Structure 1
Amino acid sequence: MSASKTILVLSPHTDDGELGCGATMHRYIEEGHTIISVSFSFCKESLPEGLEPDTLIKENENALLALGLKKENILLYDFPVRNFTENRQAILDELIQLKIKYKPDIVFTPATTDIHQDHGVITSEAKRAFKHCTIYGYEQPWNTYQFFGNTFQKISSENLSAKINALTKYKSQQSRAYMQEGFIRSLAKVRGLQAGGEWAECFETIRFITS
């Protein structure tokens, strides 16, 4: 992208955006675009026993700052995890306010085939709120039976390393298989091969608006 863009990254829960498009976020920041991260839950109800309720708030901020985001562009809501369906209209209302305030050119959200109930709500409501924006769905293979990946963003080894470093800030989540460096590198390698390069992240083009 040549002209500076405003890009919203919608994360149902803290860490979803970094997992789905963290290297792309880092590349776009390097190129001078504005990235705004919006997380809708910090999952205090599902944290491992013994951790403070604000654990993921701190980890999320540390991860996004490591990627290069400005602190004022890190937004966080407190919708109850796994109960987004009951809050669908409130979430849509917030998305509409984000559209009015930031006027994004591009929105990243979970893929339309993501089976996690909270992820599905965010993407469904994003399609309503941002129908005049380009929308890309990021992949999380552990949450999909199929993925219609048709857009590839090539990334550098530095972009990938920045993503991996950012995800290490989620110390409370390191036991999860998808947080492991080997998995993250392997997926980026596969996507890079498909895109004719070394590394890439893959997205579903949900809506494409061009001027």
Structure 2
Amino acid sequence: MISSNQVKRVLVLAPHTDDGEFGCGGSIAKLIEEGADVYYAAFSACEQSVLKEFPPDILISEVKEATAELGIKKENLILFKYEVRTFNFRRQEILQDLVDLKKNINPDLVFMPATSDMHQDHSTIALEGLRAFKLTSILSYEVPWNNLSFNTSSFVHLEDRHVEKKINALRLYRSQAHRPYANEEFIRSLARTRGVQIATTYAETFDVVRWIIK
């Protein structure tokens, strides 16, 4: 179990706005509650794939609202402007952005997608993230719709209030409400399933990529 006693500065790598909330929103809320300083870097607002009834830049305002709901300071939200589904063509630029984040934030812990994630943007962030943060503790978060398999090697105990924070944050992504996984029933049931695995009510699970004990 992680806590702010172990990590003071956390960086969440979200290929697209909302990935971080889906993957580790409850853990973000818990760590902030315990006093950790959490940074959130989103690499694309997916303007090319937003539904026609919404403004193309809707996800920019939504991620600002959602991360604020979790307790992330507005100055800790970093937004890049890569086009969705093009990350694999811009690996070197993305790697440089990640190296700059490492230099400027110097996190104790990084949350990122799994290297086995099927989405090309997610896998790019995971692979380049590993290169940039190879000397930092790294946990990969779970996004079941993209993971053919996932190594549940670490868990974070969550209270109901942390799950509620996660649900409320994701509810602010009105432009993504049509996604089959963007609903309270799924989010809560997954947290309940992971909780059962460690004899608690709710949890989020992570694959340990690096864990550095100082």
- The two structures have a TM-score, normalised by structure 2, of 0.97
Amino acid at match of 1:115: M
Map of 1:125-136 to 2, 5 A cutoff?
125-136=128-139
Alpha-carbon distance in structure 1 between the residues aligned to 2:53 and 2:32: 36
Residue aligned with 1:136, SS: strand
The residue aligned with 1:143 is: 146
Query: RMSD in angstroms over aligned alpha carbons?
Result: 0.8
The residue aligned with 2:63 is: 60
Residue aligned with 2:78, SS: strand
The residue aligned with 2:194 is: 191
Map of 1:1-211 to 2, 5 A cutoff?
1=3, 2-3=5-6, 5-211=8-214
Contact 1:7 1:106 in 2 (8 A): yes
Alpha-carbon distance in structure 1 between the residues aligned to 2:75 and 2:56: 22
Alpha-carbon distance in structure 2 between the residues aligned to 1:74 and 1:32: 17
Alpha carbons of structure 1 residues 207 and 3: separation in structure 2 relative to 1, 3 Å: closer
Deviation at 1:115, TM superposition (A): 0.5
- Structure 2: stretches of 5+ with no match in the other structure: none
- Structure 1: stretches of 5+ with no match in the other structure: none
Q: Deviations over 1:87-132 (max 9, x none)?
A: 1000000000000001100000001221000000000001000011
Deviation at 1:53, TM superposition (A): 1.9
Contact 2:160 2:202 in 1 (8 A): yes
Q: Percent identity?
A: 45
Alpha-carbon distance in structure 2 between the residues aligned to 1:3 and 1:189: 25
Residue aligned with 2:53, SS: coil
Contact 1:189 1:200 in 2 (8 A): yes
- The two structures have a TM-score, normalised by structure 1, of 0.98
Residue aligned with 2:163, SS: helix
Contact 1:4 1:32 in 2 (8 A): no
Alpha-carbon distance in structure 2 between the residues aligned to 1:194 and 1:148: 13
Amino acid at match of 1:159: H
Deviation at 1:3, TM superposition (A): 5.0
Count matched residues.
211
Contact 2:88 2:124 in 1 (8 A): yes
Contact 2:13 2:42 in 1 (8 A): yes
Alpha-carbon distance in structure 2 between the residues aligned to 1:149 and 1:206: 11
